[in-house]
Amino acid sequence: MAEERESLSPTKIGLGVLWPTFWTGLPFKLAFAVLFLAMGMMHFEGRLGLAFIMLLASPVTVFALPIITMGLDSHIGEGAGIGLLFLLSIPIDIWAFGVVGRTFFLERLRREPPDGLGMTLWWKSALVGAVFLPILWVVVGAVTSTGIAIAHSLMELELLKGIPVAERISIELTLWGSVASAVLIVLLLIGVSLVGRLIRSMAQAAPPVSESYQGVITRWDLMRVPADQGLMLTSLTGAGVVLSLLFWATLPVTTPHPHECCKQPEVKAQPPLKPLESLTKNEKVIAQLSAQVDVLEKQKTEGEADKGKAKGKAGKDKDASPAKKP
């Protein structure tokens, strides 16, 4: 066992620390990510998978992301939430590195974890990421685009032109995909082994643990149990309740992506109904209208009377006129 510990390769050490660290901090970061998405503070276009990997690996991408975004003109999305999320990730990652690093030192390396291990591991890994990841980004990008071009031109050869579309797609994808994946894996392993070398040099400087395996396991086990479990449970529940309330408060009630087919008609709000006022108003209107009707009826009667008089006069004239004729 002791030999196995001594012979742990830098890649194994790097993976043994980085992999659990990525996942330890993720639940907390995801909670903030969902909240920012609900608030509309960040938008991912077509690269959600890449955004997830960047967030998952924030212990090494925290400085690399701005370099890739600004220096290489490539971004994972838009909105102030992305920057804020990566800022919030810093304390979470330091804590995650601390928990995982102490466990790894005790359980796998059987060394006393030094003080401030989380902070030291975080800044060293972030620095390695800041230098290494932009290089990886450029190299893998170049290999992928060259691979696609070569695979495409190979399939354009007269000899291979008769290959049906479905087969052609799969062959092209296999050709450039395997080359790009191989380069990506090799570069990732180099990056991980760089972090592993840093951890190994720290471990070599640390004193070995004196307890038996059972003693180390008990210590490692107790280290993960919070001193005040009630307080931890209460604070976690409280944080969960606050986050849930914030989530439901900020979640859009209607779809943020309305279809063209289903546009909501603009509805103007009706003024509030005041029964007494509207009754009085209506009574006044009715009184006014009935007065108007009275006036109209009066006018009509007078008009008819005038017409009658005029008719009577005209009749008298008619009766009188034949006498004058012969």
Partner 1 sequence: MEHSSLPSTQPTAIEKVVAFIDERVGLKQMQAKMLNEPVPGGSRWAYVFGSVLLFIFIMQALTGILLMFYYVPTADHAYASTQYIIHDVDYGWFLLSYHFWGSTAMVVCVFAHMSQVFLWGAYKSPREMIWLVGLALFGIVMGFGFTGYLLPWDQRAYWATTVGVEIMDKTPILGDFMARFLKGGPTPGQMTLSRFFVIHVMILPAALMGLAGLHLFLFRAAGPAGPFRGTPEELKAKTDYFFPRQIWKDIVGMVVVFASICALAFWEPVVLLEEATPDPGDYHPEPEWYFLFLFQLLRLKIFAGEFGQFLGAIALPGAFMALLAALPFIDKDPERNIFKRPIALIGWIVVMVSILLFTVSAIINREFLD
Task: Extract the tokens encoding 45.
Answer: 């276009």
The yes or no reply on residue 279 touching partner 1 (CB under 8 A) is no
Amino acid at residue number 6: E
Bridge partners for 125 per DSSP: none
Q: Which stretch binds partner 1 (CB under 8 A): 80-88, 171-179, 195-203, 297-305?
A: 171-179
C-alpha 251/C-alpha 28 separation (Å) is: 19
The yes or no reply on residue 38 touching partner 1 (CB under 8 A) is yes
- In the complex, what is the shortest distance from the CB of residue 290 to partner 1, in angstroms, rounded to a whole number? 45
- Phi/psi at 76 (5° precision): -95, -15
Q: Which stretch binds partner 1 (CB under 8 A): 63-71, 131-139, 158-166, 314-322?
A: 158-166
The yes or no reply on residue 189 touching partner 1 (CB under 8 A) is no
Q: Residue 7 or residue 254: which is nearer to partner 1 going by CB?
A: 254
List the one residue from 9, 146, 174, 280 that touches partner 1 (CB under 8 A): 174
List the one residue from 30, 150, 154, 206 that touches partner 1 (CB under 8 A): 30
**Nearest residue to 85 (alpha-carbon basis) of 109, 119, 61:** 61
The yes or no reply on residue 173 touching partner 1 (CB under 8 A) is yes
The yes or no reply on residue 259 touching partner 1 (CB under 8 A) is yes
The yes or no reply on residue 159 touching partner 1 (CB under 8 A) is no
Site mask for partner 1 (CB under 8 A), range 193-222, x = bound: --------------------xx--x-----
Which helix (H) or strand (E) covers residue 147, if one does?
A: helix 117-155
Q: Which stretch binds partner 1 (CB under 8 A): 44-52, 66-74, 116-124, 183-191?
A: 44-52
List the one residue from 249, 262, 269, 276 that touches partner 1 (CB under 8 A): 262
The yes or no reply on residue 131 touching partner 1 (CB under 8 A) is no
C-alpha 111/C-alpha 108 separation (Å) is: 8
C-alpha 144/C-alpha 177 separation (Å) is: 8
C-alpha 246/C-alpha 172 separation (Å) is: 48
Which residues in 287-306 contact partner 1 (CB under 8 A)? Answer: none
User: Distance between the two ends of the chain, CA-based, in angstroms?
Assistant: 155
Site mask for partner 1 (CB under 8 A), range 230-249, x = bound: -----------------x--
C-alpha 129/C-alpha 62 separation (Å) is: 8
Longest Cα–Cα distance of the chain, Å, equals 157
**Nearest residue to 223 (alpha-carbon basis) of 119, 125, 105, 121:** 105
Q: Residue 168 or residue 197: which is nearer to partner 1 going by CB?
A: 168
Q: Under a CB-based contact definition with an 8 Å cutoff, are residues 41 and 79 in contact?
A: yes
List the one residue from 72, 160, 169, 287 that touches partner 1 (CB under 8 A): 169
**Nearest residue to 109 (alpha-carbon basis) of 14, 178, 244:** 14
Residues that bind partner 1 (CB under 8 A): 23, 26-27, 30-31, 33-34, 37-38, 44, 48, 52, 164-167, 169-170, 173-174, 177, 213-214, 217, 247, 251-259, 261-262, 264
